[in-house]
């Protein structure tokens, strides 16, 4: 769809402002947010997106301004002319006139068309910047939601670890009271219990930090609670091969900026060529003495102008050379954007595959360490063949395996968001409309 069609009116941009107002009210409630809900809320209310919408509307109007060069230019005015000779029949040297002029461009060797192309490329770049703004907010919100979920899961494990170590500390305390164990075992158990509690407090602090981050992204007024699990599209986000990925918004923006530079170069070349135009004018003296007796009060002219720059101090040539360098820089920027996106996408895919392959191994490790912990406790209580240090180490190793399992599972989700972002499929995954439709007033 042509971008200019997506910008029918500047009033359409009010959609996001209204959506943002509704989003503020929704985010201010205590209702937990699912991942998709949080993402859509942020995408329609974040100031970065609203700013990008305004810039896209502004760039769209630039197209109409550039196309005006094809149409007649009409102007009117009043003038006062003073000369060194008689200008009126009564001997006065000053005359006042009203004038009306019309200028129509006939042929300009591509000056206006290159300006229109540059404006269209600028509008496309503004639209790409809007896509980047939306994708950045969506990625940050989705990853903040995942981090809240991660810290909540780690918090549950930390709480179970505290209970497990606390149970061992209580058991050691009972045995110490009966004289069956030493004071050093009690101190060791207490030390491990304090470490477990410190880890629990750290996960709670991190969870609160990410809730606040999510609150700011969704324009809320209180820390955000989450509900449910990660969105289904994340499960296969990194499975697509990079060659099948869509152009990322950053690449689209670089392509549009290259098109702008090429249009500017064509415009600089056209400035060195002539311009053919048709001028029509009507002048009328405002005083009765401004015309001789029997003459018409109105003077009409029709001229054909053929003008070309002969010497401007090298300004046009310098502008042309600058445009050439701008095209070269834009080509390099496009190559870097493509390379950066490809590199980050491949990196995210490799990391995601590594974590996914670790998950079954970690699940087996959790199972084996749990069996080891249970066996050690039984041997400690019934046979006395295990020391308290063995029990504490087994307890810590079991929960450590659970921590690793939760970390890897959430890393897979975080990297899935990154894969969607780098491949240009993030908005589609969360059911958001195209940014051009957002500018035109569509709803997500």
**Cα dist. 321→28, 134, 260, 325, 328 in Å?**
55, 36, 15, 6, 11
Q: What does the pLDDT read at residue 443?
A: 38
- Residue 300: inside a domain, yes or no? no
- Residue 280: inside a domain, yes or no? no
Structure tokens at 65: 């301004």
Q: Which residues pair with 76 in a beta bridge?
A: 100
Q: Which of 419, 400, 395, 380 is nearest to 166 (CA)?
A: 395
Phi, psi dihedrals of residue 40, rounded to the nearest 5°: -65, -35
The enclosing domain of 418 has a CATH number of 1.20.1600.10
Q: What does the pLDDT read at residue 23?
A: 44
The span from the first CA to the last CA of the chain, in angstroms, equals 18
b/e burial code for range 253-278 (CB count within 10 A of at least 16 → b): bbbbbbbbbbbbbbbbbbbeeebebe
Q: Which residues pair with 304 in a beta bridge?
A: 278
Alpha-carbon distance of 61 to 120, in angstroms, equals 10
- Helix boundaries (H) for 86-182: 111-177
- Residue 96: inside a domain, yes or no? no
Q: Domain total for the chain?
A: 1
Per-residue model confidence as pLDDT tens for the chain (444 residues): 343 333 333 333 433 433 444 444 444 445 889 999 999 999 988 999 999 999 999 999 999 999 999 999 999 998 877 766 655 555 566 777 889 999 999 998 989 999 999 999 999 999 999 999 999 999 999 999 999 999 999 999 999 999 999 998 888 887 777 766 677 888 888 899 999 999 999 999 999 999 999 999 998 888 888 988 888 778 788 876 655 556 888 998 999 999 999 999 999 999 889 999 999 999 887 766 656 545 566 888 999 999 888 888 888 899 999 999 999 999 999 999 999 999 999 999 999 999 999 999 999 999 999 999 999 988 888 877 788 888 899 999 999 999 999 999 999 999 999 999 998 888 988 888 665 555 554 434
- Residue 94: inside a domain, yes or no? no
Sheet holding 275-285, edge to edge: 73-82, 94-107, 275-285, 298-307
Judge contact between 421 and 347, C-beta under 8 A: no
User: Are β-strands 275-285 and 73-82 bridged in parallel, bridged antiparallel, or unpaired?
Assistant: unpaired
Name the DSSP class of 33: B
Alpha-carbon distance of 436 to 421, in angstroms, equals 18
Q: What does the pLDDT read at residue 18?
A: 35
- Residue 440: inside a domain, yes or no? no
Phi, psi dihedrals of residue 428, rounded to the nearest 5°: -65, -40
- Residue 194: inside a domain, yes or no? yes
**9's torsion region: left (phi>0), alpha (psi -120 to 50) or beta?**
beta
- Helix boundaries (H) for 218-314: 249-270
- Residue 436: inside a domain, yes or no? no
Task: Name the percent of the chain in helix, strand, coil, to the closest 5.
Answer: 70, 10, 20
DSSP-based three-state secondary structure for 105:
strand
Q: Which of 121, 315, 146, 139 is nearest to 229 (CA)?
A: 146
Q: What does the pLDDT read at residue 223?
A: 85
Q: What does the pLDDT read at residue 343?
A: 94
Q: What does the pLDDT read at residue 383?
A: 78
Find the domain containing 49 and state its range.
31-71+108-273+308-429
Alpha-carbon distance of 252 to 334, in angstroms, equals 9
Alpha-carbon distance of 416 to 233, in angstroms, equals 9
Alpha-carbon distance of 177 to 174, in angstroms, equals 5
What pTM did the predictor assign?
0.81
Name the DSSP class of 88: S
Could you give the dihedral angle defined by the CA atoms of residues 217, 219, 222 and 225, in that order, rounded to the nearest 10 degrees? Answer: -50
Alpha-carbon distance of 402 to 377, in angstroms, equals 19
């Amino acid at each position: 769809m042509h971008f200019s069609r997506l910008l029918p009116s500047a009033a359409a941009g009010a959609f996001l402002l209204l959506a943002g107002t509704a989003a503020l009210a929704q985010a201010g409630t205590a209702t937990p947010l699912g991942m998709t809900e949080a993402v859509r809320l942020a995408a329609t209310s974040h100031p970065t997106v609203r700013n990008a919408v305004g810039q896209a509307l502004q760039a769209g109007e630039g197209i109409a301004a550039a196309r005006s060069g094809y149409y007649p230019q009409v102007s009117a005015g009043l003038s006062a002319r003073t000369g060194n000779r008689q200008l009126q029949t009564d001997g006065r040297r000053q005359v006042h006139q009203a004038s009306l002029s019309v200028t129509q461009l006939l042929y300009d060797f591509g000056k206006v068309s290159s300006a229109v192309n540059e404006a269209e490329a600028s509008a496309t770049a503004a639209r790409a910047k809007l896509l980047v703004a939306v994708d950045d907010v969506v990625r940050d919100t989705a990853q903040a939601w995942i981090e809240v979920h991660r810290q909540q899961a780690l918090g549950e494990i930390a709480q179970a670890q505290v209970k497990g170590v606390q149970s061992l500390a209580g058991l050691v305390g009972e045995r110490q009271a009966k004289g069956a164990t030493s004071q050093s075992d009690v101190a060791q158990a207490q030390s491990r219990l304090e470490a477990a509690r410190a880890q629990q407090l750290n996960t709670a602090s991190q969870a609160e930090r990410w809730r606040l981050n999510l609150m700011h992204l969704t324009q809320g007024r209180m820390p955000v609670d989450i509900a449910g699990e990660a969105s289904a599209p994340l499960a296969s986000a990194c499975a697509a091969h990079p060659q099948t990925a869509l152009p990322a918004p950053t690449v689209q923006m670089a392509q549009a900026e290259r098109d702008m530079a090429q249009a500017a170069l064509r415009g600089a070349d056209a400035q060195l060529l002539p311009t053919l135009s048709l001028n029509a004018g009507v002048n009328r003296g405002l005083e009765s003495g401004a015309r001789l007796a029997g003459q018409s009060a109105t003077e009409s002219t029709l001229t054909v102008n053929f003008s070309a720059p002969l010497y401007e101090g090298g300004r046009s040539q310098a502008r042309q050379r600058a445009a050439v360098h701008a095209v070269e820089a834009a080509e390099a920027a496009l190559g870097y954007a493509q390379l950066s996106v490809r590199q980050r996408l491949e990196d995210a895919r490799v990391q995601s595959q590594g974590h996914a392959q670790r998950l079954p191994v970690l699940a087996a490790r959790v199972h084996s360490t749990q069996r080891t912990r249970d066996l050690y406790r039984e041997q400690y209580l019934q046979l006395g063949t295990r020391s308290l240090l063995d029990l504490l180490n087994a307890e810590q190793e079991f929960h450590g395996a659970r921590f690793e399992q939760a970390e890897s599972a959430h890393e897979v989700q975080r990297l899935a968001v990154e894969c969607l972002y780098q491949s240009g499929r993030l908005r589609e995954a969360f059911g958001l409309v195209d940014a051009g439709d957002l500018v035109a007033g569509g709803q997500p």
